Amino acid sequence: MPLFINRDQIFAHQVHLLEHKLRSKEERILELETENALLHLRLAECLGKLRRDNEDILQAQKHHQHQKHVQESTQTALAKLLSEVQVLKQDLRDVSAVYVSCATELEEHSRELQMRVGTASCAPQGDAGEIQALQAQVDALQHSLQEEKERCKAERLRRKLLHNALVELRGNIRVHCRVRPVLPFDSAPGQSASGTGSTLSEEVVHAVNDDSVLVNCSKSGASAMSKMFEFERVHGPEDSQENVSDEVKPLLTSLLDGYNVCIMAYGQTGSGKTHTMIGSQAEDLMGPEGTPLQGIIPKSAAELFRLISEKPAESYTVEVSVVEVYNNEVFDLLSKDGEGGAAGVKRDVITTSTGTSEVPALTYELVCSSADVMQVLSAVLRLRARSPTLVHRDSSRSHLIVTLTVTSKSPNALALARRLQSARKDVQRSHQKEWWSPRCRRAVSGRRRLDEQSASPASSPCHSPCHSPYPSPRPSIAQAPIRTKLQLVDLAGSECVGMSGVTGAALWETSCINRSLSALSDVLGALAEQRPHVPYRNSKLTHLLQDSIGGDAKLLVMLCVSPTQRFLAESLQSLGFGTRARQVQREPARRKNAALKIKRV
């Protein structure tokens, strides 16, 4: 029987299959169109992000170019001012030489005329008219000599103004960095011969030039990554103690000009702080003739007494005090009141009514030379708290503060300070904008009078009854001597607990050290941000250094860093601290000296 095939059913089935395929194709087309739309949206977002990134890069480049232009203009102005200062110093030397020769010649003529006058007065046939003429010539010569002395004083005044202007342009807070050479203890114990030890002793901190430090932060097997830090001065491993101490000399000139000065060494244990500040007696660190390498403290003392020797005899006295801050307590290392433990006798820090910090009953010793200073310091260094750590076998566990207090006994110094302050006020007043309104002018003058009244004798060397709207009932205060402080600080190590490896009671020491250094960083941060309140009293260290950190005192921070991979984290922390310290900007300096108060009996 033949098979019957229904062609209509076959065609209908094929049509049904084709319709199903058509619907599948249409759904696929819809999905592809949706995906295409999403891709278009993502492409638009990427293009917008790329455009914004390009705009940010252009803005950053413009900002960098602007900062570079400002820095170049500042450096140009500073170089120009420095050249002018050098020219004026040369002119001052020339004028001083002419003054000395003229003064010598005038004194010789005066003695000759006085001898002639004496001879003529003793002679029986002497002429009275000739004697009077000779006496008139003597008076004229003495008047000329007095004029030359006044000119010399005026030149000295100009020199001080220019010197302080130069120091202020360089910055009242200056940050220097010193990179020490690689030492044997830079390798971890027991790893000096292995590959790991060689990696730990690899140099990653380099002094690129006189003002830049390059740090290689990359790890083994990772891509190269480096950071650049800039400071006012950078000393490499090849720089000697002389090169480091030469940068301190301008600050000592400011000290005698009436400003408090502080020089502190900051860094981890073993980075060379004590070597930089005090020096070294080790045989492998001796000078070329077997002499010990002196640090900033003995060099500063020698330079200070050299500057004082150029002044009139007995016009300055210098006293030294030595304290250490151990476990957030202040200990007087020169006290003879009895032993208060290994650190001497405990003292307290107070804030006086004039706003300055003071240590009651602190021991001062009169010194006449740098040798006397080092003799006093050598006798008390054994009392400083020390203990071995994993970083160094003789680690200092306290902050050492050596203070040289300079007292000017010459009344001429007070008069010169007044003239200097008056000249500075005239300069500042000439740059201030005058208001057209009489009420505004009265408000400005009233605010100035209020500022003058609020300035205390301890904060201004030129404070005297003649400058105050209310004369003091004590006439002797005008003759009060002027005091300035040079504080030389060897800070304790800034490494973390894990690096030092201390345990037990030593953990409290490390905690106190880190908290005091954090307080110092907070103070510098508050000064950089110009906050109304600066937390000096959060630590005994900052409270003790208040007069030398705040106000218009001159502060030099010497960052001491290790060059090797083992101490990379601590080196970066020290360099970050120095970068924050450089951000502190201050107002124009107003001479801040501590004047001695004379009590009425």
Which tokens in the block code for residue 258?
A: 């009436």
DSSP letters, 190-243, are T-SSSHHHHHHT-B-EEEEETTEEEEE-PPTTS---EEEEE-SEEE-TT--HHH
Contacts for 600 with CB less than 8 Å, ≥ 6 apart? 474
Which tokens in the block code for residue 309?
A: 């020797």
48 known ligand binder:
no
Say what angle helices 296-309 and 370-380 make with each other, to 10 degrees. 150
* CA nearest neighbour of 349 among 522, 504, 199, 536: 536
DSSP letter assigned to residue 346: E
Q: Which amino acid is at 98?
A: V
Three-state DSSP class for residue 248: coil
273 known ligand binder:
yes
271 known ligand binder:
yes
**Separation CA 353–CA 350 (nearest Å):** 10
118 known ligand binder:
no
75 known ligand binder:
no
* CA nearest neighbour of 296 among 220, 340, 334, 243: 243
73 known ligand binder:
no
Q: Which amino acid is at 519?
A: A
Three-state DSSP class for residue 362: coil
Question: Cα dist. 200→182, 213, 226, 228, 563 in Å?
Answer: 11, 19, 17, 21, 10
Which tokens in the block code for residue 194?
A: 């292995």
**Separation CA 107–CA 257 (nearest Å):** 30
Q: What are phi and psi of 487, to 5 degrees?
A: -105, 120
* CA nearest neighbour of 294 among 320, 322, 275: 275
**The residue count for the chain:** 601
**Separation CA 406–CA 157 (nearest Å):** 20
Positions at the binding site for ATP: 267-274
Q: Which residues does the annotation place in the binding site?
A: 267-274
